[in-house]
Structure 1
Amino acid sequence: MSRILIAEDEQDIRQLLVDYLQQSGFTTVAVDNGNDALSQARTEQPDLVLLDVMMPGLDGLEVCRQLREVSHVPVIFITARHDEVDRIVGLRMGADDYIVKPFSPREVVARVEALLRRARWRAEAEVVQTGLQLNTETYVARWQGQVLDLTPVEFRLLHTLSKHPQRVFRRDELIGAAYDDHRIVSDRTVDSHIKNLRQKLQAVGAADVIQAVYGVGYRYTE
């Protein structure tokens, strides 16, 4: 269940957002000032923040600026301001969306759902370990920022192993992950792909992140 932080100083609007979001299956945390908004965002680690621009204490722009220093949580600004400059400033501060009062609470819920879907897609598309970055949409792999020249099979093997660090994968499990056409592949073929993959990783300084477990298979560890 996704947790939504609502920072809005007008009680009626704050309660309206709480009611509609809870009816839509979300958990909510509601505050009425910018200082509490920043504090709750840091401690509660919400999945999304609805942030009023004009609030007592820190305003929404400053809350967003400080939040962006430590978090990529999706942020939707809610404001009575209609000026295009204000919207541009908000987006440049790191907001993901912008809703102007008066608004339809159903539209807010729809935008929250859409933004959370996009956040999940981005998270699922990228595996990030300490030094490894894999993007399954582009098939680009990097180690400490250096691009790895991997074949599609090598990429899928590395993706499977790195998603579950320390887990030992049998060769037949790796065959199923590496080949999506259900072809018959021998254990030696998997060993050959792993050997090439390890050489490419070692060439960029990632020595021994893929380890052989005698008689079983392979595991990924940093």
Structure 2
Amino acid sequence: MTHILLIDDERKLTGPLQSAFEREGYQVTVAHDGHAGLSLALVSKPDVIVLDVMMPGLDGWQVCQAIRERSSVPIIMLTALDESVDRIKGLEMGADDYLVKPFNVRELVARVKALFRRIRLTHEELDAQQQSNGQARKPVPLQFGNLSIDERRHEVRLDDHPLRLRPQEYELLLFFARHRGITISRDTIFDRVWEGSEANNNRTVDVHVRWL
């Protein structure tokens, strides 16, 4: 079962969010402060983290930064800060998406689903799909010098060493690999890689390209 870690000190919000995610079949763990959330993030190995920015003690920025030093788990940040500089800060710290409060609970659920779609099928799911379609032949990894991208395993290797990439970094690299030698606008890149996100397209693309 897909595991979501929800880190937010607003109990009147975490209750409805937990119920909404559980109705969709997700397992949900809730932490009401940054310290507890960080510990759970590192121990429970969630599939995605929904993280509030404004929390007493250890805030969302600090939690996100600490998680990114150890894990590439997808992170969606919740924030009452609607300034573009705050959104950019979140992306630069490693968040994969953000949602400004107040928001519709259904929108957050939809964003989590979209994020999982970008992560793509797991290795086992893709194998099962290939078998059901009669596809016995496995796809050959894309090779670019000493860099290889294995779409079946969702894995990138450099000099035969695995690289730890966040979902958008992987999708961006794969998009570039599939369109090498072609000039593509930022808007097109954003629409293909950040489906459904409200992030500023130019700055979002620039930040992630800089990471790569």
**How would you bin the TM-score normalised by the shorter chain?**
0.5 to 0.7
Gaps of 5+ in 1: 146-222
Tell me what 1:21 maps to. Answer: 21
How big is the shift at 1:91? 0.7
Structure 1 segment 40-59 matched on structure 2, within 5 A: 40-59=40-59
Taking a change above 3 Å as real, the CA distance of residues 92 and 51 of structure 1, as seen in their structure-2 partners, is: same
CA contact (8 A) 1:133 1:141 kept: yes
Cα deviation 1:111-130 (Å, max 9, x = unaligned)? 00110121235977998xxx
CA RMSD of aligned residues (A): 2.7
AA in 2 matched with 1:119: I
Structure 1 segment 1-222 matched on structure 2, within 5 A: 1-121=1-121, 134-136=149-151, 143-144=159-160
Tell me what 2:182 maps to. Answer: none
Identical aligned pairs, as a percentage?
45
The higher-RCO structure (CA 8 Å, 6+ apart) is 2
How big is the shift at 1:34? 0.5
Structure 1 stretches of 4+ moved >6 Å: 122-127
AA in 1 matched with 2:23: Q
After TM superposition, the score normalised by the length of structure 2 is 0.60
AA in 2 matched with 1:2: T
CA contact (8 A) 1:8 1:51 kept: yes
After TM superposition, the score normalised by the length of structure 1 is 0.57
Rg (Cα) greater in structure: 1
CA contact (8 A) 1:126 1:133 kept: no
Tell me how far apart the structure 1 counterparts of residues 55 and 122 of structure 2 sit (CA, whole Å): 31
How big is the shift at 1:144? 3.2
Tell me how far apart the structure 1 counterparts of residues 38 and 140 of structure 2 sit (CA, whole Å): 27
CA contact (8 A) 1:48 1:73 kept: yes
Taking a change above 3 Å as real, the CA distance of residues 134 and 21 of structure 1, as seen in their structure-2 partners, is: same
Aligned length: 140
Taking a change above 3 Å as real, the CA distance of residues 55 and 126 of structure 1, as seen in their structure-2 partners, is: farther
Tell me how far apart the structure 2 counterparts of residues 11 and 118 of structure 1 sit (CA, whole Å): 29
Tell me how far apart the structure 1 counterparts of residues 39 and 140 of structure 2 sit (CA, whole Å): 28
AA in 1 matched with 2:36: D
**Does 38-47 or 53-62 show the bigger shift?**
53-62
Taking a change above 3 Å as real, the CA distance of residues 118 and 81 of structure 1, as seen in their structure-2 partners, is: same
AA in 1 matched with 2:54: M
Cα deviation 1:37-90 (Å, max 9, x = unaligned)? 100000100000000001122110111111011111000000111111111100
AA in 2 matched with 1:12: K
How big is the shift at 1:136? 3.4
